[in-house]
Amino acid sequence: MKNIKLLLGSAITASIIFTGCGDDTKETTPTAHKTVEQTTQVEATKQDIAVEKSKEAITAITKVVTSKIDEAKKVIEEQTPEVTKTVANAKKTVSKTIETVKAKIHEATAPAIDASILYRVCAGCHGADASKKALGKSAVIKGWDTTKIETALNGYKNGTYGGVMKGVMKGQVSKLSSDDIKALATHISKF
């Protein structure tokens, strides 16, 4: 636009100069006007071409950007299920780790259980070394492994184990925690 104004200004100046130059100016003035008009048209055409090229460039860039956005959306859509699965697995792993840490903290902070004191109640029927049949009716528990003893004590506690001594034993183990039962089972298995 500045170029057009500059050209028009130059053309007007030339026109004024040529107008005051005598007879020759009459012949030159129309030619000068014609040249200025042609120059102005050429400059305007150049500007139109530049604008058109700019529009084409913007359109091309828009197509490329749109294409890249569409590609990115497609990748996101394809990766979403895998990322969701990975996050779910990570949550499970973290949850398990938290539970493990909680259990370790519980172990570390739980008061120590003296199973020999707990066994004193048992010794009255089973003997000091677990070698007697309780009240002459139960099996001798000396020689049982930890798992068998723990299973029996938990079974008595929840009512799923035992014969004639079931009622007596349920009363005895009902006060024991799962940690007490584990400690007691370990202690008895060492006789």
| Band (104; pLDDT cuts 50, 70, 90) | confident
Q: Which fold has domain 115-189?
A: Cytochrome Bc1 Complex; Chain D, domain 2 (1.10.760)
Q: How far apart are CA 131 and CA 107, in angstroms?
A: 31
Instruction: Dig out the tokens for 6 from the structure.
Output: 């500059």
- Give residue for tokens 């004191």: 117
Q: Say if residue 147's pLDDT is above 90.
A: yes
pTM: 0.45
| 60-81 pLDDT per residue, tens | 888 888 988 988 888 888 888 8
* Lowest-confidence segment of 28-37, 83-92, 120-129, 181-190 by average pLDDT: 28-37
The alpha carbon dihedral of 20, 23, 24, 26 has a sign of: positive
Q: Round to whole Å and give the CA distance between 16 and 44.
A: 23
Domain range summary for the chain, segments of one domain joined by +: 2-107, 115-189
Residue-level pLDDT at 112: 84
- Name the residue with higher pLDDT: 17 or 120: 120
Q: Which of 165, 183, 173 is nearest to 121 (CA)?
A: 173
